[in-house]
A and B are shown apart, each in its own frame.
Chain A
Amino acid sequence: MKIRFFFYKVICIITMASCDNFVPILSENEEVLDGEMVGLTLAQQAEFLRGDEAFGEVFTSSKGLGPLFNTNSCISCHAGDGKGHPFTTLTRFGQSDNSGNQFLNVGGPQLQHRALPGYQPENIPNGATFSKFTPPAVTGLGFLQYVTDEDILAMADPNDTDGDGISGVPHWLPLKDFVIPASNAISQNGMYIHRFGKKAVAYDLLDQTVGAYNEDMGITSTFNLIDTYSGLSIDPEVSDNTIRDVVAYLQTLKAPVPRNQNDPKVINGKSLFSQINCASCHTPTLSTGYSPIETLSFKEFNPYTDLLLHDMGGDLDDGYTEGNALTSEWRTPPLWGLGLSESTQGGQYFLLHDGRAGSISEAILLHGGEAENSKNQFVNLSENEKEDLIKFLESL
């Protein structure tokens, strides 16, 4: 019997020594959206980790949540740093042209559909137009942040001088008071090019982050002390340090890694993508200017966006807008990571600004306006060609 027990002990020791072989294996880096970019300094990695934690921090009423809010953490909308789901989709209302939001005094622009017990959440007021916004992926944003204004302007073609039916305009807006423009920023009549968000109304990742804390969770910061419920200033509920860590985290999240790049169908799909002018808006390659973060400085990358607003036609016009954009105008969303969208959307696609498209081809077929031509060319592709194009998009 002693022998058996000894045998049992030996098994224990062996398993203890080799236990790394017994934990579930890591998904391939290219199969997941989250994770830091390579080449960060140790200090940047530590900041990434702090930001990652803050991005996952759940706010409670005692930590300042609400009273009005949409949810209680960044991660609950941006799970796995990927796209959201109809459950996490938020609603904005109250602006139908460039004369501004007419419903600011009744809770506009963002509908806070939740409230702490005892408070009433907001409703869309009568007469207000609205649009639903599905959370986008937040990967690779550091690269987009450091594309120079000069490069963005070079892609714009407001008067369609090249006659391809595609114009594309940057979104010029005045800066919020806490936002400091980049040193190489270009301004026009005191306005600057904004690039983040579906209507490109956020100047940089700080602007977007401060807004998200405030509007989505009811968390004030020294950057924006106004409580969405009372409209009055209150004490800051999140520290500057935390906000800076989250911004650093967003900046240093890796860009999605493309897959199956040697598949002949993918290669063919890639050339079709340019042939039928998808690439005129979904610009395959951009580069960054100077960035204090070494790994982001003067780098080429493949986001498939031009960061410009385009008129997408009637189907995608909800009658709601922000800033100076038309109601039919949307900023070209990056297509990198598109093929991994399902992995954070509960196993299905919810594409376009409000998640209305259940598949990639459905999303393409809803293109109109400046993309009408391009869409028609897609419709006229053979079934095999369509398949290749979709394969290519899924490989991103």
Chain B
Amino acid sequence: MKHIVIVILLLISTLSFAQVDTTLLKRQQVDSTKQQLNMDAVYNRPFLSFGKLPVSVGGYAEVNWQHIGTDGVSEGHQFQMRRMTLFVASSISKKIKFLSEIEFEEGGKEIAIEFASLDVEFHPLFNLRGGIIMNPIGAFNQNHDGPKWEFTDRPIAATQMLPATWSNAGFGLFGKTYKNNWMFGYELYLSSGFDDAIIDNEEGKTFLPESKENAERFVESASGTPLTTAKIAIRNKKFGEIGLSYMGGIYNTFQDDGIVLNEKRRLNVFAIDYNTTLTKINTFITGEWVWINVDTPETYTQQYGDKQYGGFLDIVHPVLKQKMLGWDNATLNLACRLEYVDWNVGTFNETGDNIGDELCSIMPAITFRPTQQTVFRLNYRIQRQTDILNNAPAKLGGFSFGISTYF
């Protein structure tokens, strides 16, 4: 906590110092059209650097208004400062970099170090990374910056089934290579991971994000065994990028103080992600699909499912790309997100009927980007969610409007 405060104070003081002489400030523009892999997201952020200082900073903020109701009961008008995130990057020496991301959620109630890693490059295909890493499962987890997306909410499958932003203390290797129209990248990390809370939580269902509540994981792994996360991604200039990833390990505290408490229980996650821009019409498509498999105790019944799957697909089509309201390169997009999650895949032993706990959502959007770093987005969500017994779904719907921008 103390450290965080110091970091903030430092940042604020450097920022205010920087304000004195803006000529010192250099904004490193990122060309978002440049072909990159999802794994490059942490490098591919707009940073401000100060003269010759080897430190650059950046960040993004997201503010929202929403008016959403479920089955006729509305929470009314809600104004939310969802999050503010600060990045600090520094080149310690040639080929040694430190990158970090600190997130303040819900008006500072929650402060999390999402990412803080030391990267050492030995060869483009062989980099060592250590610190708080973002597990490369799916694409969203590593590539989650608000301004990159056309929707005020993060994908449900990524945050309510997978635990984005999911980061852990760990080490790993990553690398990248190109040839002609092809680009290939890999990542392999060992980190701390999940705990018993994924099947012992107030959600009343198997819920991976519950382990995020456990801040202990940055100093002590609940299972005492590593969580392995591996990803390969291939991009072709024409066809886009496809990623295959796996994350798995033992999640439960099967022993403590040398005393055996339980059998070892595993969790496995597989994900596939894809993104491309249809060259002719410039429509951008991105999505991911995830399968989760959790070894739950037989004494737990089917309330806590052992299989889950879900994903999302975003389609973003620029309808206008030109000078608008004085911005030279503004875009107006139409977009739509399709989402689906099944937290409990299977059928009831008692009746043979499908176990519910499913959600689907369609979210059309209109977004305006004065520049690539800033987005104004208006979404309408149509969502249906069933309970475990598959009773008539809860109907949720409503508008949200938000601004998200790098700064």
Chain A residues with CB under 8 Å of B380's CB are 22
Contact with A along B312-325 (1 / 0, CB 8 A): 00000000101111
Q: Answer whether residue B50 sits at the interface, using C-beta atoms and an 8 A cutoff.
A: no
For the complex formed, measure the closest distance between the CB of A74 and the CB atoms of chain B, giving whole angstroms. Answer: 11
For the complex formed, measure the closest distance between the CB of A55 and the CB atoms of chain B, giving whole angstroms. Answer: 13
Q: Answer whether residue B153 sits at the interface, using C-beta atoms and an 8 A cutoff.
A: no
Per the 8 Å Cβ criterion, residues 119-176 of B in contact with A are none
Q: Answer whether residue B87 sits at the interface, using C-beta atoms and an 8 A cutoff.
A: no
For the complex formed, measure the closest distance between the CB of B122 and the CB atoms of chain A, giving whole angstroms. Answer: 43
Number of interface residues of B (CB under 8 A): 53
Bound: A48/B14 CA distance, A: 53
In contact, A346 and B196 (Cβ under 8 angstroms)? no
Stretch in A8-16, A302-310, A382-390 touching the partner? A8-16
Stretch in A118-126, A193-201, A275-283 touching the partner? A118-126
Contact with A along B80-100 (1 / 0, CB 8 A): 000000000000000000000
In contact, B391 and A23 (Cβ under 8 angstroms)? no
Bound: A97/B203 CA distance, A: 41
Q: Answer whether residue A20 sits at the interface, using C-beta atoms and an 8 A cutoff.
A: yes
Bound: A19/B381 CA distance, A: 12
Number of interface residues of A (CB under 8 A): 47
Partner of B392, one of A23, A116, A118, A343: A343
In contact, B387 and A24 (Cβ under 8 angstroms)? no
Given contacts A16-B399, A19-B67, contact A26 B73 (CB under 8 A): yes
Given contacts A16-B67, A19-B399, A23-B68, contact A344 B200 (CB under 8 A): no
For the complex formed, measure the closest distance between the CB of B151 and the CB atoms of chain A, giving whole angstroms. Answer: 16
Contact with B along A47-73 (1 / 0, CB 8 A): 000000000011011100100000111
Chain B residues with CB under 8 Å of A345's CB are 389, 391
Closest to B260 in A: A118
Bound: A180/B227 CA distance, A: 55
Given contacts A2-B324, A345-B389, A347-B390, contact A76 B303 (CB under 8 A): yes
Partner of B299, one of A4, A25, A121: A121
B residues apposed to A, CB below 8 Å: 65, 67-74, 77, 196-197, 200-204, 252, 261-262, 297, 299-303, 320, 322-325, 332, 348, 350-351, 353, 356, 366, 368, 378, 380, 387-392, 395-399, 401
Question: What are 5 A-to-B residue pairs whose CB atoms are below 8 Å?
Answer: A1-B322, A1-B323, A5-B325, A22-B380, A346-B391
14 further contact pairs, Cβ within 8 A, besides A24-B395, A26-B71, A79-B389: A5-B324, A12-B378, A15-B399, A16-B401, A20-B67, A23-B69, A58-B203, A61-B200, A71-B301, A115-B299, A117-B261, A343-B391, A344-B391, A347-B391
